[in-house]
């Protein structure tokens, strides 16, 4: 069967005729104002761009529209530390593939602490059979560094045949761990998984045969890694760091 028909999340379109005003947040974001629909890669899709371009807001809306908790976790997580997510998910129509995922997780750097706390709260209540933390490696996520807890989630909780939505996973990972994450992503893709990832990391977005959407002031454009601002800036820095440092510190 055609792989493009076999993915879990083919894309989405915006219900533009239902949006009350494009002058109000989040509909005034550059990525939303002119957007009608977006189609994802069946394996890995990256959402990239400078801060404030709306990639995390859009990623959150996609996750919520799929049934995930706004603060992260699996579809079984239902908690709210602070209700701050936008209403954008109400105006997104998800386009699903033929198959249905057997697993799924929404991981976002800014609220992962809250997910870890919710796991401990659920396990402290007992009466749920196997402790939830066992699915994350059996060690309290609060007793590990942020990076270790993130990576334990990638290794132990992500089981394959799933849809995994990640918001800036590199925030807690060293460059070496980011490279290890590429290996783990590939293992899971080989196990029939699909990833939608918002990231600033050129290392992570180097995953081969992925689709990269770059968010700019002019909207969203599909790009090659080598043509992205992230890649070109880092390349320029490391090829002539002294010149770059001179301009940064003397202008």
Cβ neighbours of 125 (radius 10 Å)? 8
Structural domains of the chain sorted by starting position, each given as residue range(s) with its CATH number in brackets: 3-225 (3.40.50.300)
Taking only the tens place, the pLDDT of each residue in 38-74 is 999 999 999 999 988 889 899 999 999 998 988 777 7
Between the CA of residue 59 and those of 183, 241, 251, what are the distances in Å? 23, 33, 36
- Does residue 93 surpass a pLDDT of 90? yes
What global pTM score does this model have? 0.90
- Does residue 86 surpass a pLDDT of 90? no
Taking only the tens place, the pLDDT of each residue in 207-227 is 998 999 999 998 899 999 999
- Positive/negative CA dihedral, 129, 130, 136, 142: positive
């Amino acid at each position: 069967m055609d792989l493009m028909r076999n993915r879990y999340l083919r894309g989405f379109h915006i219900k533009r005729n239902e949006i009350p005003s494009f002058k109000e947040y989040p509909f005034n974001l550059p990525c939303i104002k002119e957007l009608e629909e977006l189609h994802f890669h069946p394996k890995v899709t990256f959402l990239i761009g400078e801060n404030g371009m709306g990639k995390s807001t859009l990623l959150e809306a996609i996750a919520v529209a799929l049934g995930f908790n706004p603060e992260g976790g699996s579809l079984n997580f239902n908690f709210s530390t602070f209700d701050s997510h936008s209403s954008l998910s109400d105006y997104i129509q998800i386009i699903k593939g033929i198959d249905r995922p057997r697993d799924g997780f929404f991981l976002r750097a800014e609220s992962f602490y809250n997910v870890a706390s919710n796991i401990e709260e659920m396990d402290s209540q007992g009466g749920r059979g196997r402790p939830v933390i066992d699915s994350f490696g059996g060690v309290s996520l609060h007793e590990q560094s942020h990076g270790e807890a993130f990576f334990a989630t990638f290794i132990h909780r992500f089981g394959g045949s799933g849809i995994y939505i990640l918001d800036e996973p590199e925030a807690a990972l060293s460059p070496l761990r980011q490279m290890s994450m590429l290996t783990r992503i590939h293992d899971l893709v080989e196990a029939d998984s699909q990833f939608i990832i918002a990231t600033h990391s050129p290392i992570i977005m180097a995953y081969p045969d992925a689709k990269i959407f770059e968010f700019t002031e002019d909207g969203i454009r599909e790009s090659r890694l080598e043509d992205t601002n992230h890649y070109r800036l880092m390349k320029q820095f490391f090829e002539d760091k002294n010149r770059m440092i001179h301009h940064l510190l003397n202008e």
